[in-house]
Amino acid sequence: MPVQPQRSGPEDPEPAATNGLAPVEVQATAFRHVREARRNELVEDYVELIADLVDDGGEARPVDIAARFGVAKPTVNKMLKRLAQEGLITQRPYRAVFLTETGRVLAEESRRRHRIVTEFLLALGVSPETARQDAEGMEHTVSTETLAAMKAFTEATA
């Protein structure tokens, strides 16, 4: 028989203190934030990679994007179509992909967040490889407040 969750009531005036649950609206807001960040994560990863490829070699080809993400070219093409619809890239058939000004701004913001998180993890003593890998996911969900605290911590310990 499954264990039923305990419900708080008038006899339990401090549910967060006794069972660790945050108030409903606080928890719902946190989950909404994470879901939104996950929806944006792939877009941010793509524009960041496109910016890196363009900055490194002058262009970003779908085949190179697919190789870097370790996915099939049709997967990349589907995402590129979405990025074009959102006004983040320009692309012509069988040609390289380039960021629009809006896409470039998003890529730079993503790079900035990634750099701050990576530097923070390194300041904590995390190995460079682990910091790079962990920052790849954290950069998308970390709040502005936490990001600012990470940056201040890193600057104070430098």
Q: What is the pLDDT of residues 1-56, one digit of tens each?
A: 444 444 444 444 444 445 678 888 877 777 776 677 667 889 999 999 999 999 99
75-92 per-position pLDDT tens digit: 999 999 999 999 999 998
Pair of tokens at residue 8: 């708080």
How far, in Å, CA of 3 to CA of 30, rounded? 26
- What is the rounded CA–CA span in Å between residue 11 and residue 9? 5
CA distance 122 to 139: 14
CA–CA separation, 158 and 141 (whole Å): 25
Task: State how far the Cα of 121 lies from the Cα of 138, in Å rounded to an integer.
Answer: 11
Looking at domain 25-157, which of 1.25.10.10, 3.30.70.260, 1.10.10.10, 2.40.30.10 is its CATH number?
1.10.10.10
pTM of the model: 0.74
Which of 33-47, 95-109, 142-156 is predicted with the least confidence, judged by mean pLDDT?
33-47
Where exactly are the structural domains of the chain?
25-157
Q: Which amino acid is at 146?
A: T
